Amino acid sequence: MLAMLTPAQNSPPDARMSEQLPVSAIQRLVSKPAGPLGFGTGFLHHVGDRGEAVRLLRQAFDAGITYFDTARLYGEGICEGLLGEAFAGQRDRIVIATKVGILPPGRDLAKRAVGKAASLARKIGPLRAVVPEPAIRYPMFGVFDVPRMRTSFETSLRELKTDHVDLLLLHECTAADVANSDVTGFLDTLVQEGKVRAWGVAPRDVDMIEIDRSGTAYGDVTQFADAIRGEVPAQSAPALVVTHSCLGSSFQETLSRLKTDSGLAARWGEAVGMDVSDPAALAKLFLARAMQRNPDGVVLFSTTRADRLGPNLEAVGLLASLDVVSAFSGLLEAV
């Protein structure tokens, strides 16, 4: 199992983890300690300002997080740059996973300026009828041709301020993409060039299931939603499984139900010995359950608030109370 991180003062992450960490999947792939929780940067651009976002990343590292997941898409290309700025001098102490396959909307300054001017003008009543709405900017999906993948990846390296990434994933790929020898050949080439330590896939749920059932090899890493963990058997998965979104819709729906049904909250609370109507406590239970479901992998969580880092990391401690986590899993499955 990957190391259980326990935040400690006056002790650098590498030192406190090396004492506990057995040889794990992530170490075999990238020769760095990580897990079982990783930080997803998909919402990082929603943090107040750039400096605050960089501080949040560094606080996550100081709390024991060393696995950081990002993508060219996130924040329209902004989030990779934030990660690069945060760890420019500590690259050898973190694991970076990024992705190719989805391009963010163009960030051409002239077009952005025109769009912003049009939006402002349309707020003035008389101009609304004569100034057209600015064009909606969409990401470009399914970009798996070698030239554009190469350009996207080289852009990622520049933004991340590094000459390599530990893991490179195919973002929302399909079974056909994974079976394409041009795609996999390109990824193997990056490994040979030393620019990537290992590669894998990060598909949508339906595509992950199809890819897994197709029998086609899909690299050393797979990343998918926690909700389908049972549909991708551990024996068929590659060396490292990364799950995400355990604090998504299911968490929100459960929290809402517990807040409005005091009897249910009391019964659940008695079963697990926690106030399950408290968002922080319930989040810990959901994270612990996700880690239990993915015992040899990494579970991603995201936050835009530094005060939520500590409570989320406390979820690792719940893994020592397997009866509590198992009881909670039973309660969820009975709903």
Q: Which pLDDT does position 120 carry in this prediction?
A: 57
In a domain, 25, yes or no: yes
Query: Among all chains, which residue has been given the structure tokens 């590292």?
Result: 61
Q: Is residue 6 part of a domain?
A: no
Q: Are residues 166 and 24 in the same domain?
A: yes
From 138, 153, 184, the end of a domain falls on 138
What pLDDT shows up at residue 28?
A: 84
Spatial separation of the C-alpha atoms in residues 124 and 279, rounded to whole Å: 42
Are 241 and 133 part of one and the same domain?
no
Q: What pLDDT was estimated at residue 192?
A: 97
On whether both 100 and 129 belong to a single domain, the answer is: no
Residue 118 is predicted with a pLDDT of 44
Assess whether pLDDT exceeds 90 at residue 1: no
The 3-state secondary structure of 37-81 reads EEEECCCHHHCCCHHHHHHHHHHHHHCCCCEEECCCCHHHHHHHH
Q: Which residue in 139, 128, 134 sits closest to 116, CA to CA?
A: 134
Which domain range does residue 123 map to?
105-138
Q: Which helix (H) or strand (E) holds 183?
A: helix 181-192
pLDDT tens for 146-199 read: 999 999 999 999 999 999 999 999 999 999 999 999 999 999 999 999 999 999
Do residues 211 and 317 both lie within one domain? yes
In this structure, the answer to whether residues 100 and 111 fall within a common structural domain is no
Question: pLDDT digit string (tens) for 26-56?
Answer: 888 888 888 899 999 999 999 989 999 999 9
Quick one: 83 and 212 in the same domain? yes
Instruction: Name the domain boundary from 82, 117, 138.
Output: 138
Residue 17 has pLDDT above 70, yes or no: no
Average pLDDT of the residues of the chain? 87
Instruction: Tell me how far apart the alpha carbons of residues 197 and 297 are, in angstroms, rounded to a whole number.
Output: 17
The number of folded domains in the chain is 2
If asked whether residues 155 and 245 sit together in one domain, one would say: yes
